[in-house]
């Protein structure tokens, strides 16, 4: 299985290297930052609270748009990603915006070998879990990098979304499994990129499904205490073609209103020493 994981991660890294420069051009978030704004949602701003002066480690930061937004909110940020192109784009954006931030090129699973600090906040969001091969190890790494009393926060698409397809417009059918299998799923279709529908990525991806219980149990086993868990009816990308805009950068599914969660958030704390 180790060889399958290595091959999957290598392939995913190449995919993210390919699409990072595409995203610099197509992410509306880049313009918002250049106009002096931030791209964080009111959900995460409210649930995390004041970050001013706090150290924040952002796992899987991609081109750094969220990381730099937290910097603009006063956090002392470190963004990590295993895609060299993503980190190069993040550093370039940081220089252009003249914001304080450190961007590190690293696989999350190897981060402990190059980073030797602890943080007030470990943050990750929007399309991160499907790329991870082992959630128990991921949660141990999060706990390792948190100071005591520090918080972990994630905002992510709800795992229930992964079981559906809407091949008949507007009608969801259950086509994919919900539960985790160690073998990743290969996606090598000709679907356009999620941020630029004129671009079809050349590289396939390997992705893992994680259930809500997998996510919660991994964090609890790593010793974190759950503080909040919330589900929402809107999502940060157009997961199904029949979703419609909720706001400029968010989407919802009016015909499934009150029936289907699309997003979850979770906040957990590392307990203090006794």
Residues forming contacts to ligand SAM in the complex (CB under 6 A) are 12, 16, 60, 62, 65-66, 81-83, 86, 107-109, 125-128, 131
Which residue number, 256 or 267, has a Cβ lying nearer to ligand SAM? 267
Q: Pairing mode, if any, of strands 205-207 and 244-245?
A: unpaired
Angle at 124 between CA 252 and CA 142, to 5 degrees: 145
Which residue number, 167 or 182, has a Cβ lying nearer to ligand SAM? 182
For residues 203 and 187, give the distance between their C-alpha atoms in angstroms, rounded to a whole number: 9
Helices (H) and strands (E) in the chain, counts: 7, 14
**From the CB of 222, what's the least distance to ligand SAM, in Å?**
17
Nearest CA to 179 out of 215, 209, 134, 218 is that of 209
Which residue number, 108 or 222, has a Cβ lying nearer to ligand SAM? 108
Tokens standing for 62?
């991609």
**From the CB of 269, what's the least distance to ligand SAM, in Å?**
22
**From the CB of 107, what's the least distance to ligand SAM, in Å?**
4
**From the CB of 26, what's the least distance to ligand SAM, in Å?**
11
**From the CB of 163, what's the least distance to ligand SAM, in Å?**
20
Which residue number, 127 or 233, has a Cβ lying nearer to ligand SAM? 127
Which residue number, 16 or 153, has a Cβ lying nearer to ligand SAM? 16
Which residue number, 66 or 209, has a Cβ lying nearer to ligand SAM? 66
Closest residue to ligand SAM, based on beta-carbon distance: 127
**From the CB of 224, what's the least distance to ligand SAM, in Å?**
20
Nearest CA to 127 out of 35, 31, 62 is that of 62
Tally Cβ neighbours within 10 Å of residue 226: 13
Angle at 184 between CA 106 and CA 114, to 5 degrees: 15
For residues 197 and 192, give the distance between their C-alpha atoms in angstroms, rounded to a whole number: 5
Nearest CA to 142 out of 164, 118, 174 is that of 118
Q: Pairing mode, if any, of strands 102-105 and 76-81?
A: parallel
Which residue number, 222 or 256, has a Cβ lying nearer to ligand SAM? 222
**From the CB of 237, what's the least distance to ligand SAM, in Å?**
9
Tokens standing for 183?
């073998």
Buried b (16+ CB within 10 A) or exposed e, 86-113: bbbbbbebbeebebebbbbbbebbebee
């Amino acid at each position: 299985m180790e060889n399958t994981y290595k091959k999957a991660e290598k392939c995913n890294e190449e995919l993210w290297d390919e699409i990072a420069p595409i995203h610099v051009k197509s992410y509306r978030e880049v313009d918002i930052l250049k106009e002096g704004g931030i791209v964080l949602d009111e959900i995460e701003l409210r649930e995390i609270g004041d970050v001013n002066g706090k150290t924040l480690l952002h796992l899987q930061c991609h081109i750094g748009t969220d990381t730099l937004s937290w910097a603009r909110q006063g956090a002392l940020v470190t963004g990590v990603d295993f895609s060299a192109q993503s980190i190069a784009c993040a550093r370039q954006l940081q220089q252009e915006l003249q914001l304080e931030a450190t961007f590190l090129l690293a696989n999350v699973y190897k981060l402990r070998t190059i980073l030797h600090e602890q943080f007030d906040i470990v943050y990750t969001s929007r399309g991160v879990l499907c790329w991870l091969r082992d959630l128990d190890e991921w949660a141990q790494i999060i706990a390792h990098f948190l100071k005591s009393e520090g918080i972990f926060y994630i905002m992510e698409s709800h795992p229930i979304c992964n079981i559906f397809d809407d091949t008949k417009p507007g009608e969801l059918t259950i086509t994919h499994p919900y539960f985790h299998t160690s073998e990743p799923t290969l996606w090598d279709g000709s679907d356009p990129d999620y941020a630029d529908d004129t671009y079809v990525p050349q590289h396939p991806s390997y992705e893992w499904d994680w259930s809500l219980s997998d996510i919660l149990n991994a964090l609890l086993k790593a010793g974190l205490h759950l503080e909040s868990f919330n589900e929402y009816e809107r999502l940060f990308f157009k997961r199904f073609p029949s979703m419609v805009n909720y706001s400029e950068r968010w989407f919802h599914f009016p015909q499934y209103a009150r029936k289907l969660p699309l997003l979850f958030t979770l906040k957990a704390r590392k307990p203090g020493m006794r």
